[in-house]
Structures are given as C-alpha cells and as structure tokens.
C-alpha cells in the first residue's frame, strides 16, 4: 500500500434517526475534528442518510488482531445455550 | 430587458448569481485536492443549482411569457445575464475558490436572512432554504481561509493573492439602482446598502484570524448587474449552453 498523504484519517459513524445506534459509515481524511465532521457530512450524509455524526481519529481505535480470530471468536461457536432460542417470542413482540 | 418589472430583474440577478456560482464550483468535480473536498464542492454546486432553479422558475412566472428555469438558464444571450462579476472569474487555485466562497457566502447569509422576512412568500421560502445551505458554505470556506491564510508561507501568499484579485469585485455586490431602492422601500427586498457594514465586519473577522490584510482600494469593478460582463462569462456560456443550443428541448 502506498503512503497516505491526504491528511489524517478519521472513522465516521452516522445515526439515521434519533435514538438509533451509530453505525460505521466509512472513513474520511481531515486535518482537524471540525474538518472531519464537515467531510463526513459531505461524504456520507449528502442524500439525507443521517441526523447525527461521530468522527473518531482512526488511530484512536484498537482493533482485534485477525491472527487471533480463533482465540477471540471460536469459543462462542458451540454454546447454543447462550442464544435465547429456547424462549418463545411473546406474541406481538418484534425484538427482545 | 427594458420592459422587465423591477422584481423580475431582481430575481434574475439572484438566480444568475447562483447559476454562475454553481458552474464555477462544479468545475472542481474530479479536480478537488482530496476526494472529500471534491465531494464538498460538488455538493455546494448542487445547492446553488437548486437555488438558481427556484429563482429562475419564479422569474419565469413573473415574466409570464412561457419561459422556464431551463430556458432562462440555457437560452439567454450573454448580455441578459445579470450576475455580479465576482462569480464568473475563473478559479486560479483552491485558495481563490475558498476566498471567493467565503466572501460571497458571508454576503448570501446576510442577504437571505433579510430576504426571509419579505412579505413576498416565494422569495421568503427560497431564502429560508438558501440560509441553511449558505451557513454551511460559509463555515466550510471560512475554515479553509483561516487554515490557508494562517498556514505555510506558500498557502498564505496564495490566499493573499486570491484576496487581492477578488476584492475589487466585492463592491458590485452592494450596488443598487432606483428600481431596487423602490422595492426595498416597499419592504419587498432588503436594503442592500445596510448590509455592507455587517458584511465587512464578518469578512474582516475571518481575514483577521487568517492573518490576511484587507487590500486598500480606490477603484471597483462593476458591470455584471446590468449585463456588461468580463470575457469569462462568454466562455462559461459556450460550454453551459452547448447542449440546449445543439439539441433544443433535449431531455433525459
């Protein structure tokens, strides 16, 4: 990969409606947090997708190591009792 | 031209300002310094296109001769365009675009904030929409003028050069004539002379934090509001009108 020369990188999270989760939309370049917000607005919400935006410096995010995927995630594979599949959904409930 | 009512002329002036601003901003499409800025500038161009569409459509209604916003935008001869000259100047570099956008957005903020109070419901509605867009354009442009002016020696000198080139064209934005003064006296449109001082204050505030000096000037450029343009408008129209001239009424 070539060196990124276009300012600092920021991760963008947008909220589609009040109260909803912020969802990762992508990333932008910007030299400061105000510019990051503006660039995020222009890049990810220009067709009315959002009501609120978070921007976070990319290097402030700690990510899990893909090489440790087995250690991190495999132990969860064979424990179906952790899933609420044995409960009957009450009638009319859309989510528990 | 001479048979136009004052309000029609006024709407054409505002509409043409937005139309030519849109054209210049759209020239950045695929040429922005970074992708994010490219998108921002084309967004602004689309805001301006929308504004031009509303204003020219209203002008067409006022005229009542079966014109549309499209025919006004694409079929008039050069001398019937009434935009201020500042909008048609070609972009020298990114600093030029940002200084111009800052100066004209600060102006649009004041103009449309005042126009929103017009008893003319069409103008008030167009103004209400324009303010939201313009507030953002101004924040974006002012941020860049400050970064560039107070940046490196190179960015400072380019920004100062842009300001020196643009400043003589700012006077025209505050020109008026007896027909407009009558509209202003009737409360339909803002008294533009009264907006000069607040505009100067805003511009001076941004330029100060950008460490840029306002050029000292005795002469101002003028002409666009009465259809006397720089050579640049002709070049713009050549490209902008090409399709409608070659294929009249083409649609997609």
Lowest-confidence pick of A41-55, A72-86, B37-51, B59-73: A72-86
Residue B153 CA to residue B157 CA, distance in Å, equals 6
Query: Residue A69's pLDDT band (boundaries 50, 70, 90)?
Result: confident
A6, closest residue in chain B (CA to CA) = B34
Inter-residue contact B82 to B13 (CB < 8 Å) = yes
The residue-averaged pLDDT of B177-185 equals 95
- pLDDT > 70 in chain A, percent: 96
Lowest-confidence pick of B51-60, B148-157, B218-227: B218-227
**Using the beta-carbon criterion (under 8 Å), do B39 and A42 form an inter-chain contact?**
yes
Report ipTM (2 d.p.).
0.74
The mean predicted confidence, pLDDT, of chain A is: 86
Q: Does B43 touch chain A (CB under 8 A)?
A: yes
Q: Closest approach of chain A CAs to the CA of B219, in angstroms? A: 36
List the 142-181 stretch of B: residues with Cβ below 8 A of A.
143, 147
Q: Closest approach of chain B CAs to the CA of A42, in angstroms? A: 5
Cα angle B98, B102, B103 (rounded to 5 degrees) comes to: 120
Q: Does B39 touch chain A (CB under 8 A)?
A: yes
Query: Residue B3's pLDDT band (boundaries 50, 70, 90)?
Result: low
CATH class of the domain defined by A7-61: alpha beta
Q: Using the predicted structure, report yes or no on whether residue B21 has a pLDDT greater than 80.
A: yes
Site from B28, B32, B36 to mutate, A interface, most A CB atoms within 10 angstroms = B36
Q: Using the predicted structure, report yes or no on whether residue A47 has a pLDDT greater than 90.
A: no
**Using the beta-carbon criterion (under 8 Å), do B34 and A6 form an inter-chain contact?**
yes
Sign of CA dihedral B167, B18, B15, B202: negative
Burial B8-29 (b: 16+ CB within 10 A, else e): bbbbbbbbbbbbbbbbbbbbbe
Inter-residue contact B122 to B51 (CB < 8 Å) = no
* Domains, chain B, ordered by start: 6-213+222-246 (1.20.1260.10)
Burial B44-80 (b: 16+ CB within 10 A, else e): bbebbbbbbbbbbbbbbebbeeebebebbbbebeeee
Q: Using the predicted structure, report yes or no on whether residue B23 has a pLDDT greater than 60.
A: yes
Q: Does B36 touch chain A (CB under 8 A)?
A: yes
**A38 contacts on B by Cβ (under 8 Å):** 40, 136, 139-140, 143
Per-residue model confidence (pLDDT) at position B126: 98
**Using the beta-carbon criterion (under 8 Å), do A46 and B36 form an inter-chain contact?**
no
**B136 contacts on A by Cβ (under 8 Å):** 38
């Amino acid at each position: 990969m070539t060196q990124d020369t276009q300012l600092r990188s920021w991760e963008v999270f947008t909220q589609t409606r009040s109260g909803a989760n912020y969802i990762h939309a992508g990333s932008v370049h910007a030299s400061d947090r105000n510019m990051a917000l503006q660039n995020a607005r222009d890049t990810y919400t220009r067709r009315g997708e959002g009501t609120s935006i978070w921007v976070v410096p990319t290097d402030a995010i700690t990510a899990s190591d893909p090489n440790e995927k087995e250690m991190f995630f495999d132990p969860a594979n064979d424990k179906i009792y952790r899933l609420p599949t044995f409960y009957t959904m009450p009638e009319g409930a859309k989510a528990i | 031209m001479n048979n136009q009512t004052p309000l029609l002329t006024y709407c054409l002036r505002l509409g043409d300002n937005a139309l030519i601003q849109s054209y210049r901003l759209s020239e950045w499409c695929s040429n922005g310094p970074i992708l994010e800025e490219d998108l921002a500038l084309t967004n602004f161009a689309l805001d301006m296109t929308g504004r031009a569409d509303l204003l020219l459509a209203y002008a067409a209604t006022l005229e009542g001769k079966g014109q549309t916003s499209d025919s006004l935008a694409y079929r008039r001869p050069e001398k019937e365009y009434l935009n201020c000259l500042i909008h048609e100047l070609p972009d020298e570099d990114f600093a030029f675009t940002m200084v111009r956008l800052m100066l004209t957005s600060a102006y649009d903020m004041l103009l449309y904030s005042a126009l929103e109070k017009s008893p003319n419901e069409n103008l008030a509605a167009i103004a209400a929409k324009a303010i939201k867009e313009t507030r953002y354009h101004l924040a974006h442009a002012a941020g860049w003028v400050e970064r560039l002016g107070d940046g490196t020696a190179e960015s400072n000198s380019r920004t100062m050069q842009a300001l020196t080139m643009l400043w003589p064209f700012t006077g025209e934005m505050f020109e008026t004539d007896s027909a407009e003064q009558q509209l202003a006296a009737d409360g339909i449109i803002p008294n533009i002379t009264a907006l000069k001082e607040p505009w100067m204050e805003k511009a001076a505030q941004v330029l100060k934090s950008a460490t840029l000096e306002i050029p000292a000037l005795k002469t101002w450029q003028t002409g666009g509001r009465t259809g006397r343009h720089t050579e640049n408008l002709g070049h713009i129209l050549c490209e902008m009108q090409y399709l409608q001239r070659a294929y009249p009424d083409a649609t997609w």
